[in-house]
Structure 1
Amino acid sequence: MTQNLHIIIIEDEAATARNLEYILQEINPDIKIIVTLQSITESVQWLTINGNDYDLIFSDIRLSDGLSFEIFRQINIKKPVIFVTAYNDYAIEAFRNNGIDYVLKPFDREEIQRTMLKYNTLIAADFKREQTKTAALLQQLQSATKQYKKSFLIHYCGRLIPVEAAKINWFYTANEIVYLHTGDGRQYVTEFTLEQLEYELDPTLFFRANRQFIINKNAIDTVEYFFNGRLLVKIHPLPQEQVLVSKAKAMQFRKWLDQ
C-alpha cells in the first residue's frame, strides 16, 4: 500500500465524507485527508490556489451546485480521480475526467479497499500511460454507445407533446423549475434538471452557458464582449435575462462555436 498518501474528498454530504475518511484511514493509517470540499465553486477555488499538491481525489458526481465534471472543465487536473456516486449513468464521463474507478453508493470497506488496490496498481504501472490507453478506449466506447436525446415528451394541459431536441433553442431554470423554449416561441416545463440535460443533450449542439441557461448553437444571433472578460450571447427567442458566459468558460465556448 502506498504510504503518506494525500487525498482530497469532494462530497456535499457530510456523513458520507466522514464515512469515507474513516474507511480510508482504517485501510491505511498513513492516508491523510488534506481537505473535504462540498461544491464546484469551493473545489475550483481550492484547486486554483493549491494546484496539484495532492495524490488522489475521491469525488461525488452530483454536488449541490451541479455535476462535479464542471470542476475538471475549469481546472487542469493531472492526478487520478475515483468517483463515488449513487448514480451509475455517468460512467463514461467519469473516465473522461481522469477517473480510474467508479464506486457506487452505498459503499463499504471492501469496495473502497478494492478501488485503493486498483489505484496502487495503476500508479505502479505509470498512471499517465494507463490514462492514455483508457481515454482511447472510452472514446471508442462513447462513440459506439452514447445516444443523445432526440426528443422530449412534454406533459401540457392534459396532453403529451413530443418536442424535437434540435428545435429547442434554449433551456432555462428558475425557482428549481426548468423551462424549454422552442424556435417558434413556445415554452414548456421539463422534469429534467440542467445537470441531467448536460449529459442527455448532444454537446456539439448544446452548451451550458451558465447556471441558468443551456443554449442551442443554432439559436445564437451574436456574441459580444462584456465586462470582466465575460461574453454576452444574444439568442432567439429573446429571454428576459441576459445570457452571460463567464471568463473561465469563454475560451471553451468560443471553441465550441468554431467547431
Structure 2
Amino acid sequence: MKRNLHIVIIEDEAATARNLEYILQEIDPDTKVIATLQSISEAIDWFTSTNRSYDLIFSDIRLSDGVSFDIFRQVSIRKPVIFVTAYHDYAIEAFRNNGIDYVLKPFDREEIQRTLHKYNTLIAADIKSELAETAPLLQEFRYTTKPYKKSFLIHYCGRLIPVEAVKIHWFHTEHEIVYAHTADGKQYVVEFTLEQLEHELDPAIFFRANRQFVINKNAVNAVEYFFNGRLLVNIHPSAHEQVLVSKAKAMHFRKWLDQ
C-alpha cells in the first residue's frame, strides 16, 4: 500500500513556500505539508516540541535569522533533507547535514519531481547507508548551477531596450510595481517581483536588503550603523527613501560586501 509522504518546509519567503507546496501536491495529491517554518528559531521550537511524524524536509539555506544549518546543529534530526537555495556555495555543508539533494532556485516541477524520485530510490535502497555516501551526490550537483540573469529586455517608450543586469544599481518595489535604477540615473519598470529577482540575479553581485530593495554591490557608497542593530546603506543613484538592512540580515550583508 502506498504511504502518503509527510513533508516539512523550511523557507522564509512565503511565495516560494506556497509554490513548492503547490508543485508537491501537483506531483502527488496525497502528499501533505505538515509544517511550514520561516526561521531558525521557529524551526528549532517546532522540532523540539512536536510529536508529529514526518518523512522529508525541504529547507532553504539562508533564512532571515541565519543559515538553516544552525537548526541541524542544535536539534537532532535524522530525516533526510533536500536543500533548496539560490546559492551554490553551500553544497559541501549541505551534504554534511542529512542532505540528499541540492536544488537551485528558481526551481520548476521537473526538478522537484526528479528530487522526489531520488528520495524514493534512496528509501528503496536503505536511506541510512546512502546518507553516509554523499561524495557521488556532491560531485553530481556541484555542476548543476543555473546561469544567472545577465540582461533584461525592457519596454520603454514603445520600444524594447536590452539593459545589462550589472548596469542596474538597485531595484525597488512600490505599489506592487518593481523599478530598476541604472548607474546613470535612469529608471525602468521590470516585469519581475523582488522575490523572483532575488533568485534570478547573481548573489555575489546583488543582495536583498529588505522588502523594498535589491541592491547591486557597486551601488554601495557607504554603510552606517542605525538604530536597533540595523544598517543604513548609502547607495547611488540615491533613493527617495532610506535603504535599511535589518539586524537579522546585517551580518550576512557585511560578509557579502567583504567578499
Q: TM-score range by the shorter chain?
A: 0.5 to 0.7
Partner SS, residue 144 of structure 2? helix
Task: From 72, 75, 93, give the equivalent of 2:68.
Answer: 75
Root-mean-square deviation (CA, aligned residues, Å) is 4.2
Q: Equivalent residue for 2:203?
A: 203
Determine the structure 2 residue equivalent to 1:118: 122
Q: CA deviation at 1:58?
A: 4.6
SS of match in other structure, 2:30: helix
Distance, in Å, in 2 between the alignment partners of 1:169 and 1:15 is 34
Instruction: Report what 2:43 is aligned to.
Output: 47
State the one-letter code of the partner of 1:36.
A
TM-score (norm 1): 0.67
**In structure 2, C-alpha distance between the alignment counterparts of 1:221 and 1:101, rounded to whole Å:** 35
- Residue 160 of structure 1 corresponds to 160
State the match for 1:243 in structure 2: 243
- Does the residue aligned with 1:218 lie in a helix, a strand or coil? helix
1:137 maps to 2:143? no
Kept in 2: contact 1:24–1:112 (CA 8 A): no
1:217 shift after superposition: 0.5
**Which whole-Å CA distance do the structure 1 matches of 2:86 and 2:172 have between them?**
26
Shift of 1:224: 1.3
Alignment of 1:92-241 (within 5 A): 96=91, 98=99, 100=101, 104=109, 115-119=119-123, 121=125, 123-127=127-131, 129-130=133-134, 132-142=135-145, 146-241=146-241
Q: TM-score, normalised by structure 2?
A: 0.67
Residues 1:74 and 1:92: Cα distance change in structure 2 (over 3 Å)? closer
- The verdict on how the C-alpha distance between 1:138 and 1:235 changes in structure 2, with shifts beyond 3 A counting, is same
CA displacement 1:57-108 (0-9 Å, x = unmatched): 454x9xxxxxx56549642254533489xxxxx8996x95646387838x99
Distance, in Å, in 2 between the alignment partners of 1:221 and 1:122 is 54
Q: Describe the shift of the 1:179–1:119 C-alpha distance in structure 2 as closer, same or farther (beyond 3 A).
A: farther
Contact 1:74–1:249 at 8 Å: present in 2 too?
A: no
Structure 1 residue runs without a partner (length 5+): 26-32, 62-67, 85-89
Greater Cα offset, 159-168 or 116-125: 116-125
Q: Give 1:45 shift.
A: 4.7
- Would the alpha carbon gap of residues 162 and 47 (structure 1) be closer, same or farther in structure 2, given more than 3 Å must change? same
Aligned length in residues: 226
Structure 1 residue 257: Cα displacement: 0.8
In structure 2, how many angstroms separate the alpha carbons of the residues matched to 1:178 and 1:80? 37
Give the residue type in structure 1 aligned to 2:101.
Answer: I
Partner SS, residue 188 of structure 2: strand
- SS of structure 1 residue aligned to 2:143: helix
Query: 5+ residue gaps in structure 2?
Result: 11-16, 73-78
Contact between 1:153 and 1:161, CA under 8 Å: does it hold in 2?
yes
